[in-house]
């Protein structure tokens, strides 16, 4: 049986570790990254054969080719797909493993179909732990496209028979991943609020790290997120060195927009997203307005802004 080969475009934390896991599984990986030298360490490790360009990557793969993208959503994905579409041949397959909007994935599959190039949209979960533990993979595409990528899914997943799913037609994979991330936002928010209340009850002198460790065993709220919480609280329970700023990748916004589009109530998803916006300072102007309104109608005092807090 011929050795499996795959191309990976985008060798950052996720793409690089996925290349390593595939190489450990016996796959020949040809890798390319837009940033010069990004694949040098991976090549030194023997995880990839580095390609200086997308054309070189395509030329180094046997047909039919499978090329997996791990690049940021939006324009970087559009540009890379355009280059690949002009280079690949009928029967080849592109996998978009980034956090793309499922509607974009549906459009991209439609654009590639007349060229005979198959498109798979794949939601990838597992973060930096995926290299050793495997990735949860949820993907969309035609049955033929699913068969073309099945062997790679079995290697990347936690086990060959679990942790990966062909969810449906093009767009289905990124749609399922979008909902997954909405749930993730809500779970993270619930844990954060609960531990904030524990930390704020000073009269009890609660050991939040010990509580997290206790909840990991037999509790209804045990989860991998709680395992991670227990680990970092054991090292630093005050979190004083961490800025109270939580970024959002866009998946939470898409999930809330989908709920509005369907008319399905998803208040927890929406509130978790709004909390992230608040942490980013996006509620500061509204809060200043509230303070001035209280002062205007009730004569209540307002606090002066600390130097350097205005952005």
Q: pLDDT by residue (tens digit) across 96-110?
A: 999 999 999 999 999
Which of 52, 75, 78, 177 does the annotation list as catalytic?
177
Per-residue pLDDT at 305: 78
Instruction: Give me the pLDDT at residue 307, please.
Output: 59
Cα 270 to Cα 118: distance, rounded to the nearest angstrom: 35
What's the DSSP call for residue 306? P
H-type alpha helices, 201-238 = 208-215, 224-235
48 by Cβ neighbours in 10 Å (0-12 / 13-18 / 19+) ranks as buried
In degrees, rounded to 5, the angle at the alpha carbon of residue 43 between the alpha carbons of residues 37 and 45 is 130
Residue corresponding to tokens 């531990």: 195
What CA–CA distance (Å, rounded) separates 43 from 29?
Answer: 10
Residue 2: per-residue pLDDT: 81
Phi-psi domain of 289 (left: phi exceeds 0; alpha: psi -120 through 50; beta: other): alpha
* Cα–Cα dist 268/275, whole Å: 11
The DSSP letter of residue 127 is G
Instruction: State both tokens at 56.
Output: 């070189």
Q: What is the pLDDT of residue 308?
A: 55
Low-confidence ranges of the chain (pLDDT < 50): 310-311
Catalytic residue of the set 43, 78, 184, 213: 184
177 is catalytic: yes
**Contact (CB, 8 A) for 139 and 149:** yes
Residues 6+ apart with CB under 8 A from 81: 69, 94, 96, 108, 112
* 103: annotated active-site residue: no
The tally of CA atoms less than 13 A away on the side-chain side of residue 208 is 22
Domains in the chain: ranges and CATH: 5-170 (3.40.50.720), 178-206+243-296 (1.10.1040.10)
Q: Where does 56-214 show beta strands of DSSP type E? A: 66-69, 93-96, 118-125, 136-140, 164-168
pLDDT tens, residue by residue, 242-260: 999 999 988 999 999 999 9
Query: What integer pLDDT is reported at residue 311 of this predicted model?
Result: 45
Q: Find tokens 């498109």 and name the residue.
A: 119
CA distance 222 to 91: 45
Nearest to 89 by CA among 46, 120, 58, 127: 58
Distance, CA of 128 to CA of 13 (rounded, Å): 7
Nearest in space to 248 (alpha carbons), one of 268, 278, 227, 223: 278
pLDDT digits (tens, 9 = 90+) for 266-275: 999 999 999 9
């Amino acid at each position: 049986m011929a050795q499996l080969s795959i191309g990976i475009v985008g060798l950052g934390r996720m793409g690089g570790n996925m290349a390593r896991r595939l190489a450990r599984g016996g796959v020949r990986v040809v890798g390319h990254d837009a940033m010069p030298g990004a694949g040098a360490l991976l090549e030194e490790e023997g995880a990839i054969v580095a390609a200086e360009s997308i054309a070189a990557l395509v030329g180094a793969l046997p047909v039919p080719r499978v090329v997996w993208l791990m690049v940021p959503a939006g324009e970087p994905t559009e540009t890379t797909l355009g280059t690949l579409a002009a280079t690949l041949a009928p029967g080849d397959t592109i996998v978009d493993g980034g956090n793309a909007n499922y509607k974009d994935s549906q459009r991209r599959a439609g654009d590639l179909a007349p060229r005979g190039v198959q498109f798979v949209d794949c939601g990838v979960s597992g973060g930096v732990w995926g290299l050793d533990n495997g990735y949860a993979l949820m993907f969309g595409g035609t049955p033929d496209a699913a068969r073309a990528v099945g062997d790679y899914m079995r290697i990347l997943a936690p086990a060959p028979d679990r942790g990966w799913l062909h969810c449906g037609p093009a767009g289905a994979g990124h749609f399922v991943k979008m909902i997954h991330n909405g749930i993730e936002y809500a779970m993270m928010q619930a844990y954060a609020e609960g531990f904030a209340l524990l930390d704020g009850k000073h009269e009890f002198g609660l050991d939040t790290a010990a509580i997290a460790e206790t909840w990991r065993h037999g509790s209804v709220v045990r989860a991998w997120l709680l395992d991670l919480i227990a680990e970092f609280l054991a090292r630093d329970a005050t979190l004083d060195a961490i800025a109270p700023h939580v970024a959002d990748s866009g998946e939470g916004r898409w999930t809330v927009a989908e709920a509005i589009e369907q008319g399905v109530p998803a208040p927890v998803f929406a509130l978790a997203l709004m909390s992230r916006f608040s942490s980013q300072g996006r509620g500061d102007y509204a809060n200043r307005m509230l303070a001035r309104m209280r002062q205007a109608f009730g004569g209540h005092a307002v606090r002066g802004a600390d130097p350097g807090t205005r952005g």
